[in-house]
Chain A
Amino acid sequence: MDVIRNRIVVSDPWRHELSLPADKATAELAPGDVIVCLQRWLSDWDALLARGGRVGVRIDASDDLRQLIDTQLCELWLVEFHFESFDDGRAYSRARLLRSRHDFHGDIRAAGDVSRDRLGFMERCGFNVFSLPAQANLAAALAAFDEIGDTYQPAADGGASVARLRGHRAPLAVRSAA
């Protein structure tokens, strides 16, 4: 199946392995790039990293993002936020924190109830991969990113807000090591 990644339609190399470690051992996972549940990443991260394929973690609305933040984030290629419904806005804040505050440089992927009319907001919050339902027209959905060109507020996309274009506010400070 295809996804939108960095505003390009590409085929999706990832496979979901959302079973719990108690139901299926990490050693039994088939090869390839896998998206696992947070619990498997927390308990078996070393085995996951040792098995070869790339690792992504899926975060559900009920998961505690702080548990993920406390792990080896830099070893992850992808974090997927699952939208149980289109109007659950928590993942926007979570993605923004992950991208901006915790400096996560891998893919942040939106999955579940994802549709064209929220892609622009999601991208501004740090999402760069979008997994839409099978029937969605991805090529048409790409238009969503350019519907609103200007922004009134800084977000995780690093774009210049209207205030900056007017010559106000200092540029984003480089985060100090402290």
Chain B
Amino acid sequence: MYRYDVLDQRLVDQRVEQFRGQVQRYLAGEIPDDEFKALRLRNGLYYQRHAYMLRVAIPYGLLSSSQLRMLAHIAREYDRGYGHFTTRQNIQFNWPELEDVPRILADLATVQMHAIQTSGNAVRNVTSDHLAGVAGDELEDPRPWCELIRQWSTLHPEFNWLPRKFKIAVTGAAEDRVALKLHDVGLQIVDGTSGERGLRVYVGGGMGRTPVIGRVLREFLPRRELLCYLEAILRVYNLEGRRDNIHKARIKILVNQLGVDVFRARVEAEYEALREANITLDEVEISEMAVHFAAPAYTSALADSGLSSARAMLPGFADWERHNTRAHKQAGYRIVTVSLKAPGVPPGDATAAQMDAVADLAERFSFGMVRTTHDQNLVLADVREDQLSALWQRLADAGLATANVGTLNDMICCPGLDFCSLANAGSIAIAAQINERFSRLERLYDIGPVQLKMSGCMNACGHHHVGHIGVLGVDKHGEEWYQLTLGGVAGGEHVALGDRLGAAIEKERVAEVVEQVLSVYVDHRHAGEQFIDTYRRIGLAPFKEQVYGRDQKSNRGVGSLAA
């Protein structure tokens, strides 16, 4: 992983001291509330329903064991003993005191972590493929590019007061696991026609209340020009993006208003004008960065991994292996997903003890590295097959071996009304309701892969637009109701926004309706067909009819939600 040099460390240390001063001056009444809000947001500090919430950056989802232990320490020392892993690969702490935050940041800086630009109208944490470096379908590890972008965007003086937040994702794989077309900018490592390595640039995607699927801005960008091109995009956006309406301020709105061709022409003109040597990357810089992400020292596979006897001897191991591990590009290794979706636990939450346990297990079984995923799990990416069963037992001891990865219960879920001041409705309680109704793993396995994604409001932190089943919390006369969508897909060529199933439903009925939806799938599926494929084949109508009945009008009651 990337290790700070003295320059990186000094900058982060100085940022901590700067923020400490800002907090002191705010508490002394020297900074007005609205301005302090903007300042604290640029350091990841929100004020939520009950208290402050601190979002700590996990750059492109990569953590060392010592960093994860520090997160556990912060959960224990300054919070209520747990943290919440987010859909952007970060972690949130829900209960810090404002006065403690400078100390938390100073603690983080000792392990080369920070909360810089995890919120506010600036370039946010760059996200990446949680299988970077270990997936077989990868052209090149995207993380060196993520780190180059992280550094370039950190405290960028020109782009710290953008019209709105700005999210970048990078992948080097064939399969889109980062939702390239749902980011302000998505970058895909590709080879050009002459064999030169470069990037395909997508722009203008995003979720929120106006979901938009991003478009190709440039088919091929020479890799050395990456920062020049990003600078051009950001400058056009900073100068021309709308600032009069927060809901129209994302770059997707500007791209739509200008049209992608006009937007492209403006970016290209700016790119031509600003190409200068001091922002063009040089090859040495690129290769030095890549060294930081070199593969660990894999050992050759044993003749007998012991897996077949483990499957036979250990009840539950085979299911866990099938669902929570996947193929590694290195023979003799598996990629392990640590499920943070145990029944009865808010999706994505981990206790301090669990974080410590995973940190220890990473050291013992996976080169001391942990990844966070956008679907709110953790990954131990480099586990030897012959050590899988030992790891499984220890994960099970820590409550982290629920064999439900990829199933309905492996759902994405925002903090919802319980924590978030934006939310219209709870999401954690709905997750629990669904978990209870689908408590048998055999049933989940029979249903097969389904991505259920749930947001407590239209800001879509829970990515409901692109869930195979999307659940959106809405406020209806002060009550929590839920709007379902079907058929959303987050990545790849079939990327799609979900179709609205019908009128919002009462809180008590959400799991029941999900069950009805799944029963239609089970009745109609061809052998081996997954939910999303059946949905694509048969369309919305049979699902609608099952839930709302043939005669019932499904659009009554919540007309305002149809827009």
Contacts and interface: CB of A to CB of B under 8 A. Distances in A.
A133 to B, nearest CB: 11
B235 interface: yes
B159 to A, nearest CB: 7
Interface stretch (A9-17, A47-55, A147-155): A147-155
Interface stretch (B4-12, B424-432, B488-496): B4-12
Contacts of A88: 161, 243
Contacts of A171: 277-278
A39 interface: no
Given A93-B239, A162-B11, A169 B285 contact: yes
B351 interface: no
Nearest to B11: A150
Contact of B158 (A125, A149, A152, A164): A125
A89 interface: yes
Contact of B281 (A151, A155, A169, A172): A169
Contacts of A117: 22, 31, 35, 39
Given A150-B7, A152-B156, A172-B277, A86 B285 contact: no
B121 interface: yes
A94 B39 contact: no
A161 B7 CA distance: 10
A30 interface: no
Interface string B268-285: 000001101111111011
B38 A87 contact: yes
A153 B279 contact: yes
Contact of A96 (B11, B158, B227): B158
Interface of A: 86-90, 92-94, 96, 101, 115, 117-118, 120-122, 124-125, 147-155, 161-173
Contacts of A147: 14, 17-18, 21
Contacts of A122: 157
Nearest to B154: A152
B290 to A, nearest CB: 13
Contact of A169 (B35, B156, B162, B279): B279
Contacts of B160: 89, 92, 121
Contacts of B278: 154, 161, 163-164, 169-172
Interface in B156-183: 156-163
B7 A165 contact: yes
B168 to A, nearest CB: 15
A115 B285 CA distance: 36
A92 B17 contact: no
Contacts of B10: 149-150
A148 B288 CA distance: 25
Contacts of A89: 121, 158-163, 238
Contacts of A125: 157-158
A172 B276 contact: yes
Given A87-B121, A149-B10, A153-B156, 9 more contacts: A86-B161, A92-B158, A115-B31, A118-B161, A148-B18, A152-B153, A153-B152, A153-B227, A172-B277
Nearest to B280: A169
A169 B277 contact: yes
B155 interface: yes
16 contacts: A87-B38, A87-B121, A101-B274, A125-B157, A125-B158, A147-B17, A151-B155, A154-B276, A161-B278, A162-B11, A163-B278, A169-B278, A169-B280, A169-B281, A172-B278, A173-B276
B35 A115 contact: yes
Contacts of B15: 148
Interface string B10-31: 1100110110011000000001
Contacts of A150: 7, 10-11, 14
Contacts of A153: 151-152, 156-157, 227, 279
Contacts of A124: 157-158
A118 B18 CA distance: 12
Nearest to B18: A147
Given A92-B158, A154-B279, A162 B7 contact: yes
Interface of B: 5, 7-8, 10-11, 14-15, 17-18, 21-22, 31, 35, 38-39, 121, 151-163, 227, 235, 238-239, 243, 273-274, 276-282, 284-285, 288
Contacts of B31: 115, 117
B397 to A, nearest CB: 43
Given A90-B238, A169-B282, A120 B157 contact: yes
Nearest to A90: B239
A148 B11 contact: yes
Nearest to A135: B30
Nearest to B238: A93
Contacts of B11: 148-150, 152, 162
A8 B320 CA distance: 66
A138 B475 CA distance: 48
Interface centre among B157, B160, B273 (most CB of A within 10 A): B157
Given A89-B162, A153-B152, A166 B7 contact: yes
A88 to B, nearest CB: 6
B242 to A, nearest CB: 11
B33 to A, nearest CB: 12
Nearest to B122: A89
Contacts of A86: 35, 38, 161
A114 B444 CA distance: 57
A148 B19 CA distance: 11
Contacts of B280: 169-170
Name which of A101, A118, A150, A172 has the most chain B CB atoms within 10 A of its CB. A150
Contacts of B163: 89
B542 to A, nearest CB: 49
A170 B277 CA distance: 5
Contacts of B238: 89-90, 92-93
Contacts of B17: 147
B153 to A, nearest CB: 8
A175 to B, nearest CB: 9
A82 B5 CA distance: 39
Nearest to A173: B277
A30 to B, nearest CB: 35
Contacts of A165: 7
A42 B279 CA distance: 35
A121 B84 CA distance: 32
Nearest to A163: B285
B282 A168 contact: yes
A60 B373 CA distance: 44
